């Protein structure tokens, strides 16, 4: 075989290999793109499924869905009629729901302690200042004391206790063991019952323990803090594992 003929055959093989390789690459790339598209569509589908069958008539602006956190501060007092339950002040509109929640716990064999409810902005200022003062007395500088205080106490205006719709409630045995309120109160059956059945009375566990949810709320897990949102909303939020932040956003995106 001549050298010229050999080079011609070799060149033909190189071209053929390049064509085959390009075809495989195109097909692989196409398959990868299709997989990405399918995953993207699946993600969109999951998002839309989560927002289907929303409770009828519910709007993100409803009184029981008011959102207060460090990103949505209320620097002036919220006006509402107040009522007292077990020595704790709450919004008049949720008084019966709180009573029913406690009554349901008793019927299940659990005594409860209603620890706190409504707090004014002024009271929150006093609490924040008091804790910061203690931190300063322990030798912290002002910046460190401020940071340490903010880790355990909401800044005035960012605590949803000022709405009158939030309550701190614990099983009596859990509260006796942890009077300063700690997340692991949920080791007690009484606290588990409150968490599991809160939605039946229109409440949700406001600050859940999942990391993504803590990012949404900006608050660490609190097994004792319940927020009234209404029965329909509470059951929907529980069924779809939604924080109030995510639920309100979902309603807004749905044009509610």
Catalytically active residues are 222
- Give the phi and the psi of residue 83 in degrees, each rounded to 5: -140, 160
**What's 146-163 look like in SS3?**
HHHHHCCCCCCCCCHHHH
- The tokens for 34 are 């299709």
For residues 210-237, b (16+ Cβ closer than 10 Å) or e, as one string?
eeebeebbebebbbbbbbbbbebbbbbb
Contact 249, 57 (CB under 8 A): no
d(CA 108, CA 171) in angstroms, rounded, equals: 12
Measured CA to CA, the distance from residue 80 to residue 124 in angstroms comes to: 18
Is the CB of residue 223 less than 8 Å from the CB of residue 205? yes
Using CB atoms within 10 A of its CB, is residue 86 exposed (0-12), middle (13-18) or buried (19+)? middle
Which two three-digit tokens encode residue 204? 């949700």
Tokens of 109: 């064999």
């Amino acid at each position: 075989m001549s050298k010229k003929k050999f080079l011609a055959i070799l060149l033909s093989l190189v071209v053929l290999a390049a064509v085959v390789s390009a075809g495989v690459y195109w097909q692989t790339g196409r398959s990868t793109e299709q997989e990405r598209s399918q995953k993207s569509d699946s993600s969109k589908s999951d998002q839309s499924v989560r927002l289907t069958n929303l409770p009828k008539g519910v709007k993100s602006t409803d009184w029981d869905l008011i959102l207060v956190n460090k990103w949505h501060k209320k620097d002036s007092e919220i006006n509402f009629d107040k009522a007292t339950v077990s020595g704790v002040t709450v919004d008049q509109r949720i008084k019966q729901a709180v009573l029913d929640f406690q009554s349901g716990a008793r019927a299940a064999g659990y005594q409860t302690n209603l620890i706190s409810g409504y707090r004014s902005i002024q009271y929150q200022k006093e609490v924040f200042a008091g804790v910061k003062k203690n931190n300063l007395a322990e030798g912290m500088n002002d910046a460190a004391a401020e940071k340490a205080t903010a880790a355990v106490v909401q800044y005035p205006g960012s605590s949803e206790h000022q709405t009158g719709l939030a309550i701190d409630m614990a099983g009596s045995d859990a509260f006796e063991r942890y009077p300063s309120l700690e997340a692991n109160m949920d080791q007690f059956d009484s606290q588990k019952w409150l968490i599991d059945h809160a939605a039946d009375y229109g409440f949700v566990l406001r600050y859940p323990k999942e990391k993504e949810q803590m990012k949404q709320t900006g608050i660490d897990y609190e097994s004792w803090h319940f927020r009234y949102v209404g029965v329909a909303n509470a059951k929907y939020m529980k069924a779809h594992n939604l924080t109030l932040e995510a639920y309100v956003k979902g309603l807004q995106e749905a044009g509610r």
